[in-house]
Structure 1
């Protein structure tokens, strides 16, 4: 009985230490990112992902970083390399956490980066996919502010492209901003981005 209790205690201690390493690693990666050391942060998240293959968040953040730095990139080879990496890490995250609205939004952002680079080449094929991704994300998590905001911003971009009024989507952005104040997740390091972006959009919304 004593051996059993000792084994359970040791296993518990190992789990706590592993969790502690994970938390410290994630905190360090975010510190690097906030310090504008973007690629160092990406590499840190990669190392964490390798060490924690059952956690989707490190994979998500590698994907997110490589997507963000792709907006405005003019070198097609570099862009392709970054977005391919983003997609590869996202695909792993999706196997770990299927039907995750945050991952659906991230996939749509990868597609948007391609469209922003060359709308004539990628718009026709990826725009319908984005519409489907945002619709599915809304069905899965209708009160997730990032889902509402991202879909609204996508709809606004589509409206501008076709010369339509963007004002109808302002109320969606406003709703997203309201939800940012109350939306909480019990998962450590869960995405929190979007509130400042919603405020920026609202300032010029409908103008």
Structure 2
């Protein structure tokens, strides 16, 4: 009985140490990202992912760091490298957590980055995929603020590209902001981004 107690205590200590390392690693990766050190942040999220094979979050953030860095990138070779890595890691995140609305939004953002780079080349094939992904995400999580806002942002971008009116989608941005105000992430590392972008987008509506 005494040996069993010792074993349980050792297991608990090992678990707490691993959790502490995970927490510190994730916090450091976010710090690097916030400092604009995208490569360093991506590399650290990758290292965390190799130790957290059943946790979709570090895989998600490798994908997100590389996707965000790709918007506005003019060098196609660098863009391709970043978005291929983003796709590789979001695919792994999907395997860990299928039908996850946050992962679906991230997948849509990868496609959007390609369309933003060259709409004439990638729009025809990827735009329908983005629409389908947001429709699926909305069915799974209709009150997720990132789902509502990201879909509205895509719809506004599409309308602008074709010379249409963005006004019909402003109500969706307003709804997203209300959802952001009441959203509570499952942990300090679960996705919680988007409110500032939604507020900036709403200002475009009010001009």
Shared fold by TM > 0.5? yes
Question: Does the CA contact (< 8 Å) of 1:166 and 1:206 recur in 2?
Answer: no
Corresponding residue SS for 1:98: coil
Alignment of 1:160-175 (within 5 A): 160-175=160-175
Structure 2 CA distance for aligned equivalents of residues 161 and 46 of structure 1: 35
SS in 2 for 1:192: coil
Task: Give the 5 Å matches for 1:34-183.
Answer: 34-183=34-183
Secondary structure of 2:190's partner? coil
After superposition, the CA RMSD in angstroms is 1.1
Q: Gaps (5+ residues) in structure 1? A: none
Q: Is the 8 A contact 1:167 1:206 kept in 2?
A: no
Aligned to 2:12: 12
Report the CA distance between 1:54 and its aligned residue: 1.1
Could you tell me whether the CA contact under 8 Å between 1:60 and 1:103 is conserved in 2?
A: yes
Measured after TM superposition, the shift of residue 206 of structure 1 is 5.8
- CA offsets, 1:156-196, max 9 Å, x none? 11112232211111010001111111111223300111010
Deviation (angstroms), 1:130? 0.2
Gaps of 5+ in 2: none
Aligned residues: 207
